[in-house]
Chain A
Amino acid sequence: ILNVEQSPQSLHVQEGDSTNFTCSFPSSNFYALHWYRWETAKSPEALFVMTLNGDEKKKGRISATLNTKEGYSYLYIKGSQPEDSATYLCAFLLYGQNFVFGPGTRLSVLP
């Protein structure tokens, strides 16, 4: 059974702080990694789709990096805002298989 881990489980930061979290996944047979943001009472929405080792993606204040050789991805949020409060999920895809989701990192940004 594949295991995707995310750390930390939760964190609280002040508005304006920068933060980052980690997604760890099996490094063999990698095919793709996704990041999703899941706000309370809404549906998860894709942030990034990453497929290549060394990928770096950016969307506004949020960016992500991917290291498939060592099996991790980092998500960075620069200058956190209260609207960034959400659970951030990573999902790992093996070739020919289904997505395996991590347990998520719950971020709370305090004004």
Chain B
Amino acid sequence: KAGVTQTPRYLIKTRGQQVTLSCSPISGHRSVSWYQQTPGQGLQFLFEYFSETQRNKGNFPGRFSGRQFSNSRSEMNVSTLELGDSALYLCASSLAPGPANTGELFFGEGSRLTVL
């Protein structure tokens, strides 16, 4: 069974540009969540989608947005990039979101964004 696939794996952008990252969950998984990891920080929650609806959103500015398609694939977009947006962005899928589901998260390998 294929795992969670994230594209692109690496990308370099300059300040002010925008970026779109893609995540394909494990087949049958309907919940997708996104996390940001910066040096010295734990995984910071960005948002979670289930059935094309955003269920939860983390404490990030409006420049960070996302969406989920009918096939459960998800994209996140960051507009007007800042140097501080340089990070590893991880996507995780699960069968269904909480509160009823306490099941494990399956992570992709991440997209490493560098903003110059």
Nearest B residue (CB) for A38: B107
Tell me whether B33 is interfacial, beta carbon within 8 Å.
Answer: yes
A2 nearest CB across to chain B (Å): 10
Give the contacting residue for A43; candidates B33, B58, B59, B108; CB below 8 A.
B108
Q: How large is the interface on B (under 10, 10 to 19, 20 to 34, 35 or more residues)?
A: 20 to 34
A101 and B35 contact, Cβ closer than 8 Å, known pairs A34-B104, A46-B104: yes
B25 nearest CB across to chain A (Å): 13
Q: Assess whether A96 is in contact with B99, with CB atoms less than 8 Å apart.
A: yes
From B13-21, B40-48, B60-68, B69-77, give the one contacting chain A.
B40-48
B78 nearest CB across to chain A (Å): 19
Chain B residues with CB under 8 A of A36: 105, 107
Contact with A along B95-116 (1 / 0, CB 8 A): 0001100111111111000000
Give 20 CB contacts A-B under 8 Å: A31-B99, A31-B102, A32-B102, A36-B105, A43-B90, A43-B109, A45-B107, A46-B105, A49-B103, A49-B104, A91-B43, A93-B102, A98-B33, A98-B45, A98-B48, A99-B33, A99-B45, A99-B105, A101-B35, A104-B42
